[in-house]
Amino acid sequence: MGKLNTSFLLILRLLRVLRFFRILHFFPNFSKIVLAFKVALKESYAILLSFLIIIVIFGLINCSLFSEADPEHFETPLRSIYSVFQICTVEGWYEIPNTVAEYYGYTSTTAEFIRLYFCFILLLGGIIGMSFINSIFVDAMVADNNDDVKLKLDEIEEKVNKLLENTDKKE
């Protein structure tokens, strides 16, 4: 008679970890943070989608250009897209171009153009793209703080105007 495999029950015990998420409601202003996150996603989805499209386009181009030179990073379209994502997140920004450059001869003119090409990808995606996404996301997250400050400033301005009116009446 075979032994019953109950190892899947151990995996079910891992679901107990999800109880941690109940604690999050005890944090002050947690609902405001979640709401601000949703607003930030709504305001930046077009930029995120554009960034994703750029990564896919450069990934497909790199797959066709460098699949022989660096099969580890560019053999398949999915692997190539991931490699471009790595470059844009400044993860493999110098290792990947150096591997491709070694295939063409480390000091050749082709290798120098390849390095310039990858520098362009890094500049476009990693520096400008990620900074742009980050700035839009942060701006949307703190936008509700600006509303509170504006309301307080309006109240102060009203009080100052009343004080000025009272001093004008006394004169």
Burial 9-41 (b: 16+ CB within 10 A, else e): eeeeeeeeeeeeeeeeeeeeeeeeeeebeeebe
pLDDT winner (highest mean) among 20-24, 70-74, 123-127, 129-133:
70-74
Contact at 8 Å (CB) between 129 and 123? no
Whole-prediction pTM: 0.67
Q: Would you say residue 97 has pLDDT above 80?
A: yes
Share of the chain above pLDDT 90, in %: 36
- Domain of residue 126 covers 42-159
**116 domain residue, yes or no:** yes
Give how many domains the chain has, as a whole number. 1
Of the two residues 83 and 169, the one the predictor is more confident about is 83
Tokens representing residue 84 in the block: 């471009």
**171 domain residue, yes or no:** no
**6 domain residue, yes or no:** no
Give me the pLDDT at residue 78, please. 96
Tokens representing residue 33 in the block: 């943070």
- The confidence band for 31, taking pLDDT boundaries of 50, 70 and 90, is confident
Tokens representing residue 52 in the block: 């994703």
**10 domain residue, yes or no:** no
Give me the pLDDT at residue 93, please. 84
d(CA 162, CA 60): 65
Give me the pLDDT at residue 3, please. 67
Helices marked H in 75-121: 77-88, 95-103, 109-121
C-alpha Rg value of the chain to the nearest Å = 27
